[in-house]
């Protein structure tokens, strides 16, 4: 990749970091990106990397040699949990007891406690993973009992494109669930993190209470699929 394109990535990273309120974590969504692109982002100030695919993240993880925190932000299949536990510091997309139990067992083998977020299907879309907002409480109670998992909060996707305001109702619904859980006094539950918003909607997400945002295109440019 040309030095001009890498410079553009670094400029975009600095611009977004410079406009974020204190306490908001920027996760650079690195799906389809090269290690060179991600390294440029890290050198510009990125400290958290997100990835949707375990296998792709594995190669990138080795290249970055522990310089960042890793967030899994895609749909995690149970048969990928073993590798995911080795690589990631947070899994943002837990949406079932069986998946949480699998993560817990793999963490036990590694002597590790995994921070997780419960994924909320705030748009109630059949094609998307996540639990419905009214099901979040029951799932949180079930998985917060697991010894090697720490439930840190909630995550939701929202629309990928369109008017950013279209995402606001999804974010509002998820924040209501977050606040409800935060006040529920469930043992083992830490409601520290609300992950919402992507390149087209992160400003609205922050207004609605997000303290983790997941941005790819705004930092790296339009994806190129080979």
**Domain ranges (residues) in the chain:** 3-220
3-220: what fold?
TIM Barrel (3.20.20)
Q: Would you give the DSSP letter of residue 146?
A: -
Please report how the helices 136-143 and 97-110 are oriented relative to each other, as an axis angle in degrees rounded to 10: 30
pLDDT, the chain, mean: 93
Structure tokens at 160: 């990928």
pLDDT, tens digit (0-9, with 9 covering 90-100), for 20-48 = 999 999 999 999 999 999 999 999 999 99
**CA–CA dist 117, 150 (Å, integer):** 9
- The CA R_g of the chain, rounded to the nearest whole Å, is 17
> Which residues, 6+ apart, have CB-to-CB distance to 120 below 8 Å?
130, 131, 132, 133, 136, 154, 155, 156, 173, 174, 177
**CA–CA dist 181, 45 (Å, integer):** 32
- The pLDDT of residue 85 is 97
Please report how the helices 3-19 and 35-43 are oriented relative to each other, as an axis angle in degrees rounded to 10: 50
The answer to whether 184 touches 166, Cβ cutoff 8 Å, is no
Please report how the helices 168-182 and 136-143 are oriented relative to each other, as an axis angle in degrees rounded to 10: 50
Burial class (CB within 10 angstroms; exposed 0-12, middle 13-18, buried 19+) of 124: exposed
The answer to whether 6 touches 217, Cβ cutoff 8 Å, is no
**CA–CA dist 65, 121 (Å, integer):** 34
- The pLDDT of residue 127 is 78
The pTM score is 0.95
pLDDT, tens digit (0-9, with 9 covering 90-100), for 83-116 = 999 999 999 999 999 999 999 999 999 999 999 9
């Amino acid at each position: 990749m040309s030095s001009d394109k890498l410079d553009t990535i670094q400029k975009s990273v600095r611009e977004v970091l410079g406009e974020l309120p204190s306490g908001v974590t920027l996760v650079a969504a690195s799906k389809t990106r090269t290690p060179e692109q991600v390294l440029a982002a890290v050198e510009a100030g990125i400290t958290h990397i997100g990835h949707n695919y375990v296998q792709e993240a594995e190669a990138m993880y080795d290249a970055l040699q522990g310089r960042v925190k890793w967030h899994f932000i895609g749909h995690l299949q149970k048969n990928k949990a073993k590798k995911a536990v080795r690589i990631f510091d947070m899994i943002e997309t837990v949406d079932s007891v069986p998946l949480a139990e699998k993560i817990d067992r793999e963490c036990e083998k590694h002597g590790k406690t995994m921070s997780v977020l419960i994924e909320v299907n705030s748009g109630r879309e059949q094609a998307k993973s996540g639990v419905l907002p009214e099901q979040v409480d029951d799932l949180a109670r079930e998985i917060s009992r697991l010894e090697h998992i720490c439930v840190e909060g909630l995550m939701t996707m929202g629309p990928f494109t369109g008017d950013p305001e279209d995402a606001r109702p999804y974010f509002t619904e998820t924040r209501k669930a977050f606040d409800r859980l935060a006040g529920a006094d469930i043992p083992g539950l830490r409601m520290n993190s609300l992950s919402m918003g992507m390149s087209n909607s992160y400003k609205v997400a922050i207004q609605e209470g997000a303290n983790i945002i997941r941005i790819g295109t705004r930092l790296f440019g339009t994806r190129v699929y080979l």
